Amino acid sequence: MYFNKTMVYSLSGTNGNSENYYTDIDKFGTYLLGEMDRKTGPLADRYSSFISNTFKQEIPSREIVLFEALMLGVFWNTYGGFAAGTGKLAGGFMLHTANLRRQGGIRRKYADVTRGIFAYRLLEKPENSNAFLFPDTTGLKKLILWMEATGEFHHEAKVFSRWLGFFESESRTYTFINICILRGIATWFKTESLLILGPYTDGVNGFLREAKKGMRFREYKISVIRQRIEYHLNMLGAFVYNSSMRNEFLNCREKVVLLPACMKARASHNCKSLHKDGSETCTGCTNECQVNRIRLLGLVHDFNVEIIGHSSEIMVNKKYGQSGTGIIGVACAATVIAGGLQLTDKGIAAQCVLLNHCGCRHWGKETVATSIDINELLFRAGVSKLPAAESFKRRKFEPEEIAA
């Protein structure tokens, strides 16, 4: 079904359900944020002060600032070599096609073909993977430009642009030391996350080996070929943003659950959903479809359910930005943070739920209907008072399982 015949990732693990995952991510996320605060608290304080004084806007929550710092270190370690090795002409050309792609229509089709031919060759040359990106503001500018050129990290690049402004206000020595610290923390996170979240991402490395050969000329190759640490980072990010925006979301008058089309039990040509204003509405054509079951839950618990083909549709649909509307976004563990950043950029209170596994055409030769944990969805919607994991026996970590 998938390139390596296994699930790329699976929140269900070996026991067939995802209850243990939500227990693990709650405990791990709480532990990790505590450690991040201990290791980078002074940096977070200084950055928050800069945001308040420079942009005169509400300071991001403490946990979001800590997560952004970790994200910067992870991206630097993962993609810094490619950023250092990509020339200005190649980067500029790919940035142009990325901008064309966002315009849609015939420009998008042209951009997709062009990017399918050149993207991976120009932006992720294997010989550049170990190149050294010097930890200063010039290096950070190169990383941001590379991210924008991929067309996949636009919102993450926007976050890093704020950090660039912060570091430009500081001395070169301060910038050098702190970027080095963040890179070290990212390496530590890679080890820590593998211990706890690794059992849910066992299929990633095998998938990557096969995908690099089977997706040579696919325009979405960079978006799919994500390292295992990026899945773990997205899992942590979902926990962080859910915690940070929880109260604001619960105070929204209206709540909308956005489900990806990959959750539909029937192929698009057999699905009886109604298309309107850039989204689809389930009509309940089959009881086997989890989308239909969630629609029925929405009728009981007072939330609306819509189907969207791609997270980019959030940006073009004005109704998702209406005041007083909260969004529960559903996405896979490879891309959930990008969707969350889209919503926060629009000032939308949001919660997110991870797909139990990925199953769309981007991840396999055949598609398979995806699913989510219903208990987690109901908790995010404010129906239940406790996280889904609380209703089950929590697994206790032994001290040696989480290194300090």
Q: Which has the closest alpha carbon to 370: 330, 335, 336? A: 330
Most confident of 24-38, 46-60, 74-88, 278-292: 24-38
**pLDDT average, residue stretch 109-124:** 51
Query: What angle separates helix 105-123 from helix 137-150, to the nearest 10 degrees?
Result: 130
Query: What angle separates helix 228-250 from helix 204-214, to the nearest 10 degrees?
Result: 110
* 254, β-bridge pairs: 325
CB 156 within 8 A of CB 147: yes
Mean pLDDT in the chain? 81
Residue 48's pLDDT band, with cuts at 50, 70 and 90, is very high
pLDDT at residue 395 greater than cutoff 60 = no
Return the pLDDT at 394.
35
* 351, β-bridge pairs: 328
- Predicted confidence (pLDDT) per residue in 58-75, tens digit: 788 999 999 999 999 999
Return the pLDDT at 272.
87
Could you write out the DSSP letters of every residue in 314-336?
HHH-GGGG-TTEEEEEEE-TTTH
pLDDT at residue 389 greater than cutoff 90 = no
pTM, two decimals, is 0.85
- Predicted confidence (pLDDT) per residue in 308-348, tens digit: 875 555 544 556 656 688 999 999 898 889 888 888 888 88
Residue-range domain boundaries for the chain: 19-228, 232-391
Residue 367's pLDDT band, with cuts at 50, 70 and 90, is confident
Q: Rounded to 5 degrees, what angle do the CA atoms 294, 248, 321 make?
A: 70
Q: What's 356's DSSP letter?
A: S
- Predicted confidence (pLDDT) per residue in 209-234, tens digit: 777 665 554 545 555 778 899 999 99
pLDDT at residue 392 greater than cutoff 60 = no
**C-alpha separations of 232 from 37, 79, 106, 235, 332 in Å:** 19, 16, 36, 5, 12
Return the pLDDT at 198.
94
**pLDDT average, residue stretch 252-271:** 89
